């Protein structure tokens, strides 16, 4: 409320009470009402959550770094009285970055491991070249390799010189009859056919070896078959524990 006098307008306090929380009226009212609601979203927090998904190759480490920097900025903004949004995004970036980085480390390790196994398989493809126990891929085992049979389904196996104690020797790789149009003939069919051929193969061994070993035929599962491994592995497995010697040399004996 105002009154006009010789010295200009005179202001009086309003006789009506103001609603709670409303800005003051009169000449001292602020030019703009105070801001309300949450603050602006932190840009680094947004980037931290997006980078690991958009660029998995380098985004994992970058997402963790950006997320950590964003959290630091959010704490500083809160202490300065101008809070920002984005904490959840920053944490998401850190977690996603860690997961992506861990996945890349695991994938890199697996590739290196597989390459090393493959290289060792090539270097020891000839059983006569095996100078010490060495782990290779199971599909790289060749006739004449001496080994301890791994658990069923194992992807790798340790081969060794035959003068060291072992419980099996690969005698032959026996081709089996293909299914229609060269398709996978089925595990049961291959086991039956391969077992019969493996028994016949061991029956032709020298008498000493035949008395120490029994046949064991291992048919390839479909995924191995699809990698062009179309034979049954015919192993001679020891009946009485570890043996030494090579079947081809007819010098096999029980290990002492």
Domain boundary among 86, 119, 152: 119
Count of the separate structural domains present in the chain? 2
Same domain, 159 and 242: yes
With respect to residue 124, please indicate whether it lies within any of the assigned structural domains: no
pLDDT above 90 for 168: yes
Same domain, 144 and 187: yes
Asked if 146 contacts 162 with a C-beta cutoff of 8 angstroms, the reply is yes
Q: How much is the mean pLDDT over the chain?
A: 81
Binned at pLDDT 50, 70 and 90, residue 161 comes out as very high
Same domain, 231 and 156: yes
- What does the pLDDT read at residue 14? 53
pLDDT tens-place string over residues 99-147 = 998 988 888 887 777 776 666 666 667 888 888 998 888 888 899 999 9
Same domain, 153 and 224: yes
Cα distance between residue 233 and residue 170, in whole Å: 7
Cα distance between residue 158 and residue 145, in whole Å: 10
SS3 at position 234? strand
pLDDT tens-place string over residues 50-78 = 988 888 778 888 889 999 999 999 999 98
CA torsion, ordered 126, 149, 139, 229, to nearest 10 deg: 110
- And the tokens for 151? 């658990």
Same domain, 248 and 138: yes
Residue 70 belongs to what domain range?
A: 43-119
Same domain, 139 and 222: yes
- What does the pLDDT read at residue 243? 92
Q: CA triplet 46, 47, 50: central angle to 5 degrees? A: 90
Same domain, 151 and 64: no
Binned at pLDDT 50, 70 and 90, residue 32 comes out as very low
pLDDT tens-place string over residues 177-213 = 776 677 888 888 888 888 898 999 888 887 777 788 9
- What does the pLDDT read at residue 162? 92
With respect to residue 1, please indicate whether it lies within any of the assigned structural domains: no
The H or E element spanning position 53 is helix 43-54
Binned at pLDDT 50, 70 and 90, residue 35 comes out as very low
Cα distance between residue 199 and residue 213, in whole Å: 11
Domain boundary among 56, 84, 119: 119
Same domain, 72 and 149: no
Same domain, 139 and 81: no
């Amino acid at each position: 409320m105002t009154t006009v006098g010789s010295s200009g307008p005179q202001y009086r306090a309003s006789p009506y009470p103001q609603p709670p929380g409303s800005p003051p009226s009169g000449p001292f009212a602020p030019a703009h009402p105070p801001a309300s609601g949450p603050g602006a979203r932190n840009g680094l927090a947004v980037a931290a959550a997006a980078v690991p998904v958009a660029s998995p190759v380098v985004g994992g480490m970058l997402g963790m770094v950006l997320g950590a920097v964003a959290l630091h900025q959010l704490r500083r903004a809160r202490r300065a009285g101008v809070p920002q949004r984005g904490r959840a995004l920053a944490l998401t970036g850190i977690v996603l970055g860690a997961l992506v980085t861990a996945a890349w480390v695991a994938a890199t390790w697996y590739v290196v491991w597989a390459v090393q196994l493959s290289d060792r398989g090539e270097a020891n493809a000839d059983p006569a070249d095996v100078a010490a126990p060495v782990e290779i891929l199971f599909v790289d085992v060749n006739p004449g390799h001496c080994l301890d049979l791994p658990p069923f389904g194992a992807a790798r196996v340790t081969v060794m010189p035959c003068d060291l104690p072992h419980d099996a020797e690969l005698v032959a790789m026996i081709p089996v009859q293909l299914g229609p149009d060269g398709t996978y003939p089925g595990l049961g069919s291959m086991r039956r056919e391969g077992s019969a051929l493996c028994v016949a193969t061991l029956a032709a061994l020298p008498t000493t070896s035949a008395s120490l070993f029994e046949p064991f035929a291992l048919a390839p599962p479909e995924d191995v078959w699809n990698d062009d491994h179309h034979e049954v592995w015919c192993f001679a497995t020891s009946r009485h524990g570890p043996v030494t010697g090579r079947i081809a040399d007819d010098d096999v004996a029980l290990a002492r």
